[in-house]
Amino acid sequence: MQNCPLVSIVIIAYNEERYLSAAIESALAQTYENIEVIVVDDGSKDSTLEVAKSFVPKINVISQTNSGNCSFPRNAGLAIAKGEYISFLDGDDVLLPNKIAMQVELLLQHPEAAFVVNDYCNFRDLVQYPNHFSTCPLLMTEFESAQTDTLLLPKGRGADIMLEENFTIASSPLFRTSIVRSIGGFSTILYACEDFHLNYRVASRFQMLVNRELLFRRRLHGTNMSSNSMKMAKYYALSRLLLLSNETDKERRRKLKNITNRYATRFLKCCVKELRFKSISSALKMKIKSLFY
- Under a CB-based contact definition with an 8 Å cutoff, are residues 215 and 120 in contact? yes
The Cα 270–Cα 214 span in angstroms is 35
The Cα 273–Cα 279 span in angstroms is 12
Last-in-domain residue among 223, 258, 281: 223
Residues with Cβ within 8 Å of 259's Cβ and at least 6 positions away in sequence, in order, are: 163, 236, 237, 240
The Cα 100–Cα 102 span in angstroms is 6
pLDDT in tens, 4-37: 999 999 999 999 999 999 999 999 999 999 999 9
pLDDT in tens, 68-77: 999 999 999 9
Domain identity same for 168 and 144: yes
Task: Give residue 48's pLDDT.
Answer: 97
What is the residue range of 144's domain? 7-223
Task: Give residue 293's pLDDT.
Answer: 42
Domain identity same for 80 and 150: yes
Confidence of residue 227 (pLDDT cuts 50, 70, 90): low
| Nearest to 75, CA basis, from 5, 196, 148, 177 | 177
Domain identity same for 61 and 43: yes
Task: Give residue 282's pLDDT.
Answer: 59
pLDDT in tens, 103-155: 999 999 999 999 999 999 999 988 999 999 999 999 999 999 999 999 999 99
Say how many domains are in the chain: 2
Task: Give residue 292's pLDDT.
Answer: 47
